[in-house]
Amino acid sequence: MENAVAIRDIFSGAADGKKVLVRGWLQNKRSSGGIIFLLVRDGPGVIQCTIRKGVEQGFFDQFLSAKIESTVTLEGVVKPDPRAPGGREIQASSGKIDYPALEEFPIAKQAHGPEFLLDQRHLYVRDEKMRAILKIRAAILSAVRLWFDSHGYLEVQVPILTSAAVEGGSTLFEVKYFDEKAYLTQSWQLYAEALIASVGPIYTVAPSFRAEKSRTRRHLTEYWHIEAEAPWCDLDCIIKVEELMLSHVLEQLVKNCPVELGLFERNVEDLARVKPPFPRITYDEALEKIGPEKAGIKWGDDLGYEQEKLLTVHFDRPFFVTGYPKKTKAFYHKPDPARPDVTLSVDMLAPEGYGEITGGGQRIEEYDALVTRMREEGLDPKSYEWYLDLRKYGSVPHSGFGMGLERLVSWVCRLDHIRDAIAFPRLINRVYP
Ligand code: 4AD
Ligand code: MG
């Protein structure tokens, strides 16, 4: 195969006046007055290529009738031109269509309905905004890894197939596991609590699954979960980890993805001002802020999307809500010794109506207290035997959290719906394509 240059590199100016060969997908095409304007995308980069009358006729005609999203090879001289996107174009003198599109590309310039675009997701991932989302996700994950790796956290992996619920049975996906039942994991947490006694502070990036029965703008059934767990870490300690990690991630994002962020209605200033310490309020204060009628809930109920939305208008950056009542949280949350009806739990909420992006807190470290909480929740301690063992052999105060990658991306890019924060969303009514 001939050696092509990377389109992105052409914009440095180093190839100005030189002949280059590029290959890619024909993203767009128009012609006027004997010139064909082509946009060619090789993945990382897109460049305008022009073919002018006077070149070999067969070459001109072939591209005049070329269909969008054919793959092409073009050779020509790089010319700076302020009218071209990015300020440079290739004046092509030869080339060929490598794999002509067999049919008209189904996604046209005009607006399509969301269900149509979801059906065509395998093609829609070529869209400019989808490509930006993929780059932003990758930039977030590399910043996450950079932060944890340089703060003494080891990246580890745990099973996706599990034998018990972490976050309550109502959102468990059951799978047939030979002659047994197994579940798709909701969170790495129980395994993480075992591994901190092996290697200390840890993190993971992995899929989590929730059989969410409701259709909402912020629930996927399969999402990517950034989770961390640390020994000798209390509630205050894990809150600091969350705010330091997230502010680092946003700083890297502003630095590395300005062009991608520019495609969304996001002012990078909104991200740049996110610095520790983040505002903190308690659950009780949250109810006061939400208002007298509390949007349909009373003390002791969990904050749902409606309540969180009302709360977020009071903040212009992510903030923490601590001290959720015991019955709103899973069995492992440590009751506050000063006030046992609330837990040492914390959610981070994003502003602008987005709401919860992380959940976590301090865990119960005492054997008896954990068994009591399991029984209160109607769980059989027998199903959690290995997990209980961890409290028998050198227990330790410890905390952790989980952050939904797509929840973060939704807020960062101000998306209307979480389905656009991932290439191939899994939703209550969709496992295709
Ligand atoms: O609040 P959750 O349920 O907490 C846990 O799973 C803890 N065990 C995590 C831990 O402490 N290690 O989920 C954590 C985060 C939420 O804050 C949210 O960002 C995301 O996971 N999340 C979802 N994202 C997309 N779709 C869903 N259905 C989600 N459910 C939770
Ligand atoms: Mg939660």
Share of the chain above pLDDT 70, in %: 100
Question: How far apart are the C-alpha atoms of 262 and 206, rounded to whole Å?
Answer: 28
177 shares its domain with 276: yes
Distance CA 249, CA 256 (A): 10
Number of domains in the chain: 2
What are the tens digits of pLDDT across the range 191-243? 999 999 999 999 999 999 999 988 899 999 999 999 999 999 999 999 999 99
The answer on 359 and 308 residing in a single domain is yes
Same domain, 204 and 281: yes
Question: Are 75 and 177 within one domain?
Answer: no
How confident is the model over 339-365, as pLDDT tens digits?
999 999 999 999 999 999 999 999 999
Establish whether residue 187 lines the binding site of ligand 1, counting it when its CB lies within 6 angstroms of any ligand atom: yes
Residue 206 maps to a domain = yes
Pick from 401, 405, 415, 430 the residue to mutate for probing ligand 1's pocket: most ligand atoms within 8 Å of its CB. Answer: 401
- Pick from 211, 127, 110, 224: nearest CA to 167: 211
Distance 356 CA to ligand 2 centre (A): 7
Q: 163 and 214 share a domain?
A: yes
Using the mean position of ligand 1's atoms as its centre, give its distance from the Cα of residue 399 in Å.
15
Q: Same structural domain for residues 261 and 341? A: yes
- Please, which residues have CB less than 5 A from ligand 2, an ion? 359
Q: Give the nearest ligand 1 atom to 348 CA.
A: 17
Kindly indicate the confidence band of residue 108, based on its pLDDT and cuts at 50, 70 and 90.
Answer: confident
Say which amino acid occupies 203. Answer: Y
Cα–Cα nearest to 315, from 345, 344, 286? 286
Task: Please name the amino acid found at residue 398.
Answer: H
- The helix (H) or strand (E) run that includes residue 269 is helix 268-272
Residues 6+ apart with CB under 8 A from 233: 201, 241, 362, 397, 398, 399, 400
Mean pLDDT across the chain, nearest whole number? Answer: 96
349 beta partners: 319, 356
With 0-12 / 13-18 / 19 or more C-beta atoms within 10 angstroms meaning exposed / middle / buried, residue 406 is buried
Q: How far apart are CA 75 and CA 95, in angstroms?
A: 6
220 lines ligand 1 (CB under 6 A): yes
| pLDDT of 2 over the 80 cut | no
Radius of gyration of the chain (CA): 26
104 falls within a domain: no
% pLDDT > 90, the chain? 95
Q: Is residue 115 part of a domain?
A: no
Q: How confident is the model at residue 111 (pLDDT cuts 50, 70, 90)?
A: confident
Number of H helices, E strands in the chain: 14, 18
Residue type, 120: Q
Over residues 131-185, the pLDDT tens digits come to 999 999 999 999 999 999 999 999 999 999 999 888 988 999 999 999 999 999 9
Q: Are 384 and 374 in contact (CB under 8 A)?
A: yes
pLDDT of residue 283: 98
Q: Is residue 327 part of a domain?
A: yes
Q: Does 363 share its domain with 394?
A: yes
CA pseudo-torsion sign 338, 344, 350, 356: negative
Q: How far apart, in whole angstroms, are the C-alpha atoms of residue 253 and residue 415?
A: 17
The β-bridge partners of 158 are none
Best residue among 167, 214, 348, 419 to mutate for probing ligand 1's pocket (most ligand atoms within 8 Å of CB) is 167
* CATH number of the CATH domain containing 58: 2.40.50.140
**Amino acid identity, position 168:** G
Q: Note whether residue 259 is domain-resident.
A: yes
Residues 12 and 155 in one domain: no
Q: Are residues 196 and 264 in the same domain?
A: yes
Q: How far is the CA of 283 from the centre of ligand 2 (A)?
A: 13
Handedness of CA 421, 424, 426, 430 (dihedral sign): positive
Q: Domain boundary at 68, 99, 130, which?
A: 99
Domain boundary among the residues 99, 134, 149 is at: 99
Give bridge partners of residue 345 from the DSSP assignment.
361
pLDDT at 323: 98
Angle of CA points 19, 25, 31, to nearest 5°: 75
Average pLDDT, stretch 404-413? Answer: 98
User: Does 38 lie in the same domain as 182?
Assistant: no
Q: What are 89-100's pLDDT values in tens digits? A: 999 999 999 999
- At residue 228, what are phi and psi to the nearest 5 degrees? -140, 150
Q: What pLDDT score does 245 carry?
A: 99
Question: Is there an atom of ligand 1 within 6 Å of 403 CB?
Answer: yes
The ligand with the least distance to the CA atom of 348 is 1
In-domain check, residue 282: yes
Indicate whether 37 and 135 sit together in one domain: no
How far apart are the C-alpha atoms of 8 and 382, rounded to whole Å? 58
Give the per-residue pLDDT at 1.
66
Element (H, E) at 130: helix 128-149
* Averaged pLDDT for residues 382-397: 97
Domain range enclosing 93 = 7-99
Compute the distance between CA of residue 398 and CA of residue 401 in angstroms, rounded to an integer.
Answer: 11
- The pLDDT confidence band at residue 409, using thresholds 50, 70 and 90, is very high
Distances (CA, A) of 75 to 2, 54, 70, 348: 11, 15, 16, 52
Mutate to test the pocket of ligand 1, among 162, 183, 187, 203 (most ligand atoms within 8 A of CB): 187
Check whether residue 273 and residue 385 sit in a common domain: yes
CATH of the domain at 283: 3.30.930.10
Q: How far is the CA of 359 from the centre of ligand 1 (A)?
A: 6
Contact 66, 100 (CB under 8 A): yes
Name the pLDDT band for 310 (thresholds 50, 70, 90).
Answer: very high
In 3-state terms, what secondary structure has residue 395? coil
Domain boundary (64, 99, 134) is at 99
What mean pLDDT is predicted for residues 367-380? 96
pLDDT digits (tens, 9 = 90+) for 45-85: 999 999 999 999 999 999 999 999 999 999 999 999 999 99
- Do the domain assignments include residue 430? no
**165 φ, ψ (degrees, to nearest 5):** -75, 145
pLDDT: which is higher, 33 or 415: 415
Q: Residue 429 domain-assigned?
A: no
| pLDDT band, residue 293 (cuts 50/70/90) | confident
Length of the chain as a residue count: 433
